[in-house]
């Protein structure tokens, strides 16, 4: 343990942000990480509570007290060893994880949680800059071939784990670059894509064959899901060519809003809007990019994806942005004794909200429901809404509260319903009640589907979730696949 009285003497500090007027001019990251001294001080706030709930609150079970102590001692090299022992890609989570670990931190019971995510961020950024992150090439090859379908964080983590124990792994991706939603979805200003490229190089050096632009199975004809495939492979071919197949295709089917007027021009899924900006940032030329310049934007959906639409619209130069959330506004502060160590329901204001509000663009509306899209000459001009209340768990409209909110661009950011069903159907994989791939959890023996030698993990199995959960599932599914191929596995649970 670092400093016995650290949590009483040292205040939590947050990572810095570059000023709004500067950062909204570009799509680059703007978070200023902790320097060495700040990271040492912040790690000294870890109180060695004895039962580190943070470790359990973290989906990959990062060994947080240990790396805090190592940072306090200045032993950064061992700190990254500890961090990498549970998390393949801390530079992803250190940037975009919502940090459920911090909600579970014991200091958080009646004080400010240890800044675990910012310390994680500092450790991995230092490790990369010092050249400590190198490929771990296996000493022996097993001769077994594994196909991983889908290159999001689940697929990347699984591919890395499987390659490191000597399997020949091929990572298939229908898009033109790997990374899943980290690449096409999450804006560059939250996470620059060079972090994925660097890991892609590491994966290749460890023996993973990356095949982008390859669709396994087919998408429905009218699908709006991102797809830059130039080649198709059938599930039958894959099962013939590989000893095991792991499906990590994500949960890509966006939730629609089938209100009257939905077919008007100018109404799009967030996942049509955000990936286009990612592509432009990557230097690709797009014909007719979907843009928000000078427009009145309505974002329907109050979560992360909606907030990313707000941040991107602000950078485009929108005239105004209104974000709808159907649920009532949550409290600004949680009732800690009631909810600790769980993830609390409270008002979350992202950096995108802050910057859009500072520019005088943003209005956040809660307890509001969309009744109809209205338009002129085939293009949306407004959204008819009504205020709602929640009574006995049911949504009730409040009479006399209808209004029409001006809109030239409507972005639907209401989450994802399930994976694209045609892909699971083509493999013959059973689905659960929510339409996700039905595969046993780790407790029941491991991510196997009903189809022989076919496994599933990540959002494709658990439904729309978080990057850190995808990494966990990828790691655990890799262990299950390894045990299936070899009879036993040394990979961590």
Ligand X SMILES: Cc1cc2nc3c(=O)[nH]c(=O)nc-3n(C[C@H](O)[C@H](O)[C@H](O)COP(=O)(O)OP(=O)(O)OC[C@H]3O[C@@H](n4cnc5c(N)ncnc54)[C@H](O)[C@@H]3O)c2cc1C
Residue with the two structure tokens 């590491």: 202
Per CB under 6 A, the list member of 122, 186, 361, 481 interacting with ligand X is: 186
62 lies in the site for ligand SF4, by CB under 6 A? yes
How far is residue 248's CA from residue 460's CA, in Å, rounded to a whole number? 6
User: Which range of residues in 60-68, 269-277, 317-325, 380-388 is near ligand SF4 by CB under 6 A?
Assistant: 60-68
| Helix 116-130 vs helix 64-73: crossing angle, to nearest 10 | 60
Quote the DSSP letter at residue 176: S
**Residues facing 391 on adjacent strands:** 394
Question: What phi and psi values does residue 354 have, to the nearest 5 degrees?
Answer: -60, -50
Edge to edge, what strands does the sheet with 362-366 contain? Answer: 267-269, 409-412, 296-300, 320-325, 362-366
Sign of torsion over alpha carbons 77, 204, 137, 182: positive
Q: Tell how strand 145-149 and strand 168-173 pair up.
A: parallel
Please compute Rg for the chain using Cα positions: 23
How far is residue 457's CA from residue 330's CA, in Å, rounded to a whole number? 32
52 lies in the site for ligand X, by CB under 6 A? no
Residue 120 interacts, among ligand X, ligand SF4, none and using kind-specific CB cut-offs from 5 to 8 Å, with: ligand SF4
100 lies in the site for ligand X, by CB under 6 A? no
How far is residue 180's CA from residue 493's CA, in Å, rounded to a whole number? 24
User: Which range of residues in 4-12, 116-124, 249-257, 278-286 is near ligand SF4 by CB under 6 A?
Assistant: 116-124
305 lies in the site for ligand X, by CB under 6 A? yes
Residue 178 in contact with residue 200, Cβ under 8 Å? yes
Per CB under 6 A, the list member of 248, 313, 323, 369 interacting with ligand X is: 248
How far is residue 363's CA from residue 405's CA, in Å, rounded to a whole number? 11
410 lies in the site for ligand SF4, by CB under 6 A? no
3-state percent helix, strand, coil for the chain, nearest multiple of 5? 35, 20, 45
Per CB under 6 A, the list member of 116, 157, 214, 267 interacting with ligand SF4 is: 116
Joined together, the tokens standing for residue 279 give 């592509």
Per CB under 6 A, the list member of 67, 172, 242, 447 interacting with ligand X is: 172
Taking the complex as a whole, the smallest distance from the CB of residue 153 to ligand SF4 amounts, in Å, to 11
Joined together, the tokens standing for residue 117 give 């995510």
68 lies in the site for ligand SF4, by CB under 6 A? no
Residue 99 interacts, among ligand X, ligand SF4, none and using kind-specific CB cut-offs from 5 to 8 Å, with: ligand SF4
Per CB under 6 A, the list member of 458, 480, 482, 484 interacting with ligand X is: 458
Per CB under 6 A, the list member of 33, 94, 152, 311 interacting with ligand X is: 152
With respect to ligand X, which residue has the nearer C-beta, 250 or 382? 250
User: Which range of residues in 17-25, 58-66, 154-162, 194-202 is near ligand SF4 by CB under 6 A?
Assistant: 58-66
How far is residue 370's CA from residue 360's CA, in Å, rounded to a whole number? 24
Residue 58 interacts, among ligand X, ligand SF4, none and using kind-specific CB cut-offs from 5 to 8 Å, with: ligand SF4
Contacts to ligand SF4 by CB under 6 A = 58, 60, 62, 64, 87, 93, 97, 99-101, 116-117, 120, 468
Task: State the residues that interact with ligand X by CB under 6 A.
Answer: 96-97, 149-155, 172-175, 180-182, 185-186, 215-217, 226, 248-250, 274, 304-305, 308, 423, 458-460, 465-468, 470
């Amino acid at each position: 343990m670092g400093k016995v009285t650290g949590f009483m003497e040292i205040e939590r500090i947050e990572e810095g942000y570059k000023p709004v007027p500067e950062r909204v001019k570009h799509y680059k990251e703007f978070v200023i990480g902790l320097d060495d001294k700040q990271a040492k001080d912040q790690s000294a706030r870890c109180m060695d509570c004895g039962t580190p709930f943070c470790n359990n609150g973290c989906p990959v079970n990062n060994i947080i007290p240990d790396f805090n102590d190592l940072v306090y001692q200045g032993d950064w090299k061992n700190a990254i060893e500890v961090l990498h022992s549970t998390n393949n890609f801390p530079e992803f989570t250190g940037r975009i994880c919502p940090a459920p670990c911090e909600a579970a931190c014991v200091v958080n019971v009646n004080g400010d949680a240890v800044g675990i995510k910012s310390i994680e961020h500092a450790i991995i950024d230092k490790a990369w800059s010092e050249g400590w992150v190198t490929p771990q090439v296996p000493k022996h090859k097993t001769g077994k071939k594994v196909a991983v379908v889908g290159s999001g964080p689940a697929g990347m983590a699984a591919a890395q784990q499987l390659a490191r124990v000597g399997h020949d792994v091929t990572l298939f991706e229908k898009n033109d670059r790997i990374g899943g939603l980290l690449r096409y979805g999450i804006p560059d200003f939250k996470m620059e894509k060079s972090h994925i490229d660097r890991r892609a190089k590491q994966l290749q050096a460890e023996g993973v064959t990356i095949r982008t632009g390859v669709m396994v199975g087919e998408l429905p004809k009218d699908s709006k899901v991102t797809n830059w495939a130039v080649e198709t492979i059938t599930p039958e071919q894959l099962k013939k060519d590989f000893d095991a197949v792991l499906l990590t295709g994500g949960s890509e089917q966006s939730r629609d809003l089938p209100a009257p007027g939905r077919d008007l021009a100018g109404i799009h899924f967030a996942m049509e809007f955000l990936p286009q900006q990612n592509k432009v940032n990557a230097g690709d030329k797009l014909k007719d990019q979907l843009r928000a310049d000078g427009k009145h934007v309505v974002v329907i959906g109050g979560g992360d994806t909606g907030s990313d639409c707000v941040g991107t619209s602000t950078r485009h130069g929108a005239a105004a942005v209104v974000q709808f959330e159907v649920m009532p506004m949550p409290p600004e502060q949680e009732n800690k004794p009631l909810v600790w160590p769980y993830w609390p329901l409270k008002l979350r204001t992202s950096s995108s909200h802050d910057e859009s509000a500072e520019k005088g663009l943003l209005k956040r509306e809660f307890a509001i429901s969309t009744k109809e899209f209205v338009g002129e000459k085939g293009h949306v001009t407004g959204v008819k809404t009504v205020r709602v209340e929640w009574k006995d768990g049911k949504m009730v409209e409040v009479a006399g509260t209808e209004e029409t909110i001006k809109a030239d661009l409507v972005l639907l950011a209401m989450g994802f319903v399930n994976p694209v069903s045609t892909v699971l159907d083509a493999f013959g994989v059973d689905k659960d009640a929510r339409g996700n791939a039905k595969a046993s959890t780790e407790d029941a023996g491991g991510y196997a589907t009903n189809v022989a030698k076919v496994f599933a993990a990540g959002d494709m199995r658990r439904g729309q979730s978080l990057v850190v959960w995808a990494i966990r599932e990828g790691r655990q599914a890799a262990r299950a696949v390894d045990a299936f191929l070899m009879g036993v596995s040394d990979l961590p649970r």
